[in-house]
Chains A and B, each alone.
Chain A
Amino acid sequence: MNYINNLLQKTFKRRLGKNIGTLIAIALGVSLMVGVQITITSFTTTAIDFFTDAIGENDIVISGFGLPINDYETIFDTIESSDIEIAAINARISQTVAVYNLESGELEKDVTFTGVDIREDPVFGNFYDENGTKMRRLDLISYFENESHVLMGSELREELNVTVGSDIKIRIGEFNALELKFDYKTYDLKVVAFLNDEGKGKEFGGWTMWTDIDNLRSITGFGPTQVTDINIALSANHDENPVDNDYAMQVEEQLKFILDAEVNGLIILAFRALLLETADEVLADVLLAFNLFGALIIFSGILLLVNIQLIQVEDRIQQLGILRAIGARRREIVRLFMVESVILGLIGSLLGVAGGYGMSVFLVDRIGKTFFDTSLGLTPTVTIGAIVYSIALGLILSVGAGVFPAIRAARIDVIEVIRGIKKAGRKRTGKITLGLGLAFLVGGIGILAAQYVIYDSIFTKAGWDTALEQWMFMGAAAAILIGVSLLLGYLFSKKFLGNGIGLTFIGIAISMLIFSVPQLKDVRQNMQILVTLAVVLALGSIIWVGVNLKSVTNFIRTALYKTRLKKAVSLVSSKYMTSKSMRSSLTFGIFALVLTMNIFAAVYQSTYAYNTLESVEFLSGGAPIFIELDTPISNETLVNVEQDLYNVDPAITNVKGINSTIVIIQTDKEVELEIPTDIFPSYVHMIYNDTFKEGDDYKFDFMFDTSIPFFFDDYRPGGSETYQREYSHQIWDFFYNRTKFNREGTGIDNAEGLPTVLSSSQFLLPGDIFNITSFIGTPEEVIVLANVRQYPFSQTGMLPSLLITPDLYPKLIPNFALYPKHTRYLVSTNEEFKEGRNTEIASKIEEFFNGNDSLLVQTEDFVAASAFNVWEVMIELVDFQVKTFDFLQYFVGFGLIVGALGMIIIAVRNVAERRREIGMMRAIGFTKRQILGTIMIEIFILAILGLVMGFLNSLMLGWAFANIYDWILILPGIRILIYTGIMIGIALIASIVPGIRANQITPAEAIRYVG
């Protein structure tokens, strides 16, 4: 065995340069795997921290829904005497207020003004001054000594332009215990200090104001045992001791029970769990995009690694023969290759982990700057799992690609190996193939049969509309076709097998993308399937072109013969490609993948941006401006918005008010909602029939979807705007006339004639029945008729929106008569939708409500109004997606750079193995230029093949992506050209560098390898 070890050491040293090349290529491949995983994990962790930092260590929030919680101390006692283990509990009074800077005239609404007990447990956060120093209790006592003194968050400070000592006034609700409502009043305050907005809990969320709980009790008229919120921490430090979401939900249920929540009008929410689920929802699209491109990047890393290992091993097959000749046994030889592969794979993978970490440092820093607007350097989140997985994959692939050819070669005759003679492989495959083929065929038919029997879906009208059906169909079709391919391989030739498998993958990917995926209703599941199909399509194309490489290169050679190029150059380069079909396939595969991800990312971004923004005008329903008031205007003698607003700007053509409030939704459809609660808040907007419609004309023309296929058999998704409008009008009449309906076979049944609502939430779908309640009135059972797509109702932050008819509103709000006023207004203008004029008008509307000259402000009866240009709001909303795409460019850019480096190393390494051929060529009479040409053409043709394949695949994926969302496919021509140009540039570099390297080999040196 010693001689094997000795040999190993010597050959390793002797081939140090080549080994370093291999190591770098393996490291690049693994770095792609590691970098992608660390980046995605870091994004998720950072985003979740971003979401949860605002609530400190809170797990459960108990609130009284608009009304005070009475006798909080009893609640404390009940909880503390129960068997629920809590880390801390506190009580606060919070009100959402509008704040007006008396000096500058600036006004901000939706500010959280919280009264806090300064002795509360530090688990709920500490106050930090603007320099980041923790405030002492003595300071807090002195700050809050005066009832009108407040601490202010940094964001609010900037927006209001205040300094320490500034006087502000707020509009705040004073609790009217007799009528169970809030009376709004103004109150003067002084800012005494500012808070630092970094960190957790109190100091986070710069949009806040703080005072002592007793001060706020005095301002709001709350009794000594009344509060608005009780917070419970189940863990004192969630980073170290995280609380399981399921456990938090169990505690939520337990608390509902022991506190008799329904009777006492308490809303109890596992808030952190809800927030985490919401974060998952919000992040899901971004993560899907990351995973989609990450999968392609990792796949290219795998190709890179396998490619270099094949080169590493193939040129040593002759050494293997010599070893056999001197008496080495097969297993010793395999061991030699195994040890070398393990060493290379392990060192390469470790280097790859370092490289991947380096890659993620840059990408994670971009994540911080792009998504979370932080200048602080984010540290990549390294998980042991990602590293172990990448090293394991790197090692398995290195060893597999390194040892498998050696095992095969060790079986060949010693003399043949020494001579480098390859036995012509058998044309047909063996009996194992026959068995496998039959097994696949039977398995595939079995899956289809099971799908037919169990799900009864193939021939049903609903089609393959669930993800499970899609996966089953995909698996069954693949199994049957692969089975047939294996049988053809057994009966005819291996080429049939290769073609069969390649075409199976391509065929399944394309047919599912065209016919099947669009049937799936769930866009997210669709995207998951798209991720899989992207890899399947790439794999299929690589196999198929690889199997037919000979025909392709014959065709290319014939074309090259017609050029001025020396025919010998064309002959050698094209035939070499064919002879190394596996390596050639891996090479063009990498080019294909890199171009696929770059072009697809560009198509993805352009298609998304175009369709989202272009649809805004249509979906705005003719209301380019939307106004929100924080409270209704109590004195309409000062302002009658629906009349006075016409005087603000002559371009205003229509103003309609909407009554809005927040209600609670109670549903038992927990699973469908995918939210860890059966109770959550929602906006309701009461809309009169004439709000939208005057006679038969629609002044504001709102659009609905999802319901339409259920109600109208002839509805075609993705129809024209006129077509959608026609059906939406019918939905509107259905909604208003509260028609009884029962749609057989769809599960939508309203034979009882429940009140209908229109929902903006993807969780509240047509046919869903649930209760809505304000806790003041009686709970009302309603049924969702359709989903509203209209801005701004579909874009009301984290809360869903429901549109309801006026007859339902008074039932929900018994003291409705006291609040007949509007809090939302739709405004139309005769300006172009996207024009900046609407922004100007929105700004004039805000001035009308909140400017120093406003009668409302002057009489201290102010409301805080926000007037939005819907177009600009949408651009901001899309901004997150645009940021995602911007970041994706960096993401795939790394794939491109690393892929290109890998290709250059592979190409150079390839030349190093071909000195004998180069020597022969020199001896025959090839000039240096002709050798350069031979090497260049070979790599360049592979690159072009890859680029054509990548181009077609990316267009296919782009088309499918647009189809999933029913969008128009946008091809950003210039960017596609740029990426293609970059890739051609890389192909040139990857061909010139080894070509030059080949010419650096002196003829005398090259000829030594001959003979």
Chain B
Amino acid sequence: MSDEIILKTTNLHKKYAEGTSMEVHALRGVNIEIKKGEMVAIMGPSGCGKTTLLNLLGGIDKPTEGTIFINNQDINQLSDIEVTEFRLHNIGYIFQLFNLFEFLPALDNTVLPLLLTKTTRLEAEEEAKMMLRQMGLGDKIFHLPNELSGGEQQRVAVSRALLMNPAIILGDEPTGDLDQDTSTDIMNLFISINENYNQTFLVVTHSEHIASFCHRIIRIVDGEIVDDGKVIK
């Protein structure tokens, strides 16, 4: 971990159906700073605004108020195409289990982001294969998702997220569908990546167990941060 701030939000607000009787104030002035190489867990009850926050950080959605800086870039100032390009190069996404294209084998699922860049297909495939081998999937690169276990599928998702060497990896309940042993394996994998590559992670989870693997836990209730503290291991 270094002191370099990789992600910073200031006074982040998000309202849905603003100005109507259905208005929902999902986030209320969220301020977060995450340093490069940090592993942060975001916890909170259902509907507290975790996923909204993740979407705003990933540039998927726009805040009603406030700023988001990732790698010193205010992503709210970017156009749709620019933010998509920014996401491709700077943000890796890992979701729950259903986050692979079921019709693509592991290699193709992994290589996709690189194929959106100018990298040649052969180079991209080589990199993806290397990544999958590092994840212990060297013998399963041509397997379709339905031929892989849940843990293996998540490894493929991690490979894909890592392939672009992003500034930060956002995980939305990345172990939500896995049993405890496999979840532990995945989190150990995250830690290993974090330690070896100084990779930053921001993980949304319900699980104290999963959160305990992180350096820091941010707790949100009703769209506000109520606690932001280090994990005592």
Contact = CB atoms under 8 A, between A and B. Distances in A.
A925 B103 contact: no
A424 B150 CA distance: 16
B108 interface: yes
A498 to B, nearest CB: 19
Contact of B116 (A420, A424, A561, A925): A925
Interface in B68-96: 80-81, 84-85, 87-89, 93, 95-96
Contacts of B84: 922, 925-928
Contacts of A432: none
A920 interface: yes
B98 A1004 contact: no
Given A567-B121, A575-B108, A925 B85 contact: yes
A575 B112 CA distance: 12
Contact of A424 (B98, B146, B173): B146
B55 A1011 contact: no
Given A922-B84, A1011-B176, A572 B60 contact: no
B115 A571 contact: yes
A612 interface: no
A579 interface: yes
Interface of chain A, helix or strand or loop or mixed? helix
Contact of B112 (A561, A568, A579, A1002): A568
A571 B112 contact: yes
A922 B145 CA distance: 20
Interface in A912-954: 916-917, 920, 922-930
A331 interface: no
B172 A566 contact: no
Nearest to B116: A568
A576 interface: yes
B108 A928 contact: no
A681 interface: no
B142 interface: no
Given A923-B58, A930-B116, A420 B102 contact: yes
Contacts of B113: 568, 924-925
B104 interface: yes
Interface in A560-575: 561, 566-568, 571-572, 575
B102 A927 contact: no
- The residue among A580, A929, A1007, A1010 with the most chain B CB atoms within 10 A of its own CB is A1007
B115 A925 contact: no
A1010 B98 contact: yes
B197 interface: no
A1007 B113 CA distance: 17
Contacts of A928: 80-81, 84
B172 A1011 contact: yes
A584 to B, nearest CB: 11
Interface in B27-63: 55, 58, 60-61
A1011 B173 CA distance: 8
A568 B125 CA distance: 12
A1004 B61 contact: yes
Given A421-B146, A424-B146, A924 B93 contact: yes
Contact of A1011 (B60, B99, B111): B99
A923 B60 CA distance: 7
A422 interface: yes
B112 A924 contact: yes
B145 to A, nearest CB: 8
Nearest to A1007: B60
Contact of A926 (B61, B97, B116, B147): B116
B121 A424 contact: no
A196 interface: no
A571 B96 contact: no
Given A420-B102, A423-B146, A1011-B176, A924 B160 contact: yes
A419 interface: yes
A578 B55 contact: no
A809 B15 CA distance: 105
A1010 B98 CA distance: 6
- Chain B CB count within 10 A is highest, among A420, A926, A927, A930, for A927
A930 B103 CA distance: 18
A925 B101 CA distance: 14
Contact of B61 (A421, A424, A1003): A1003
Given A566-B115, A575-B108, A561 B103 contact: no
B16 to A, nearest CB: 10
Contacts of A572: 101, 104, 112
Contacts of B124: 567
Contacts of A929: 81
B116 A579 contact: no
Interface in A393-410: none
A579 B102 contact: yes
Given A424-B146, A561-B121, A927-B81, A419 B108 contact: no
Contact of B97 (A419, A561, A567, A930): A419
B96 A923 contact: no
Given A579-B103, A925-B88, A420 B98 contact: yes
Contacts of A917: 101
B88 A1011 contact: no
A1008 B144 CA distance: 23
23 contacts: A419-B150, A424-B147, A566-B115, A567-B116, A571-B108, A575-B101, A576-B101, A579-B102, A580-B103, A920-B95, A923-B87, A923-B93, A924-B93, A924-B160, A925-B113, A925-B164, A927-B80, A927-B81, A927-B84, A1010-B98, A1010-B172, A1011-B95, A1011-B173
- Top-10 shortest CB links A-B: A925-B88, A579-B103, A1011-B95, A568-B115, A1011-B96, A567-B115, A1004-B61, A923-B93, A421-B146, A1003-B60
Given A925-B87, A1011-B99, 15 more contacts: A420-B98, A568-B116, A571-B108, A578-B103, A922-B60, A923-B58, A923-B60, A924-B87, A924-B113, A924-B160, A926-B84, A926-B116, A928-B80, A1011-B96, A1011-B98
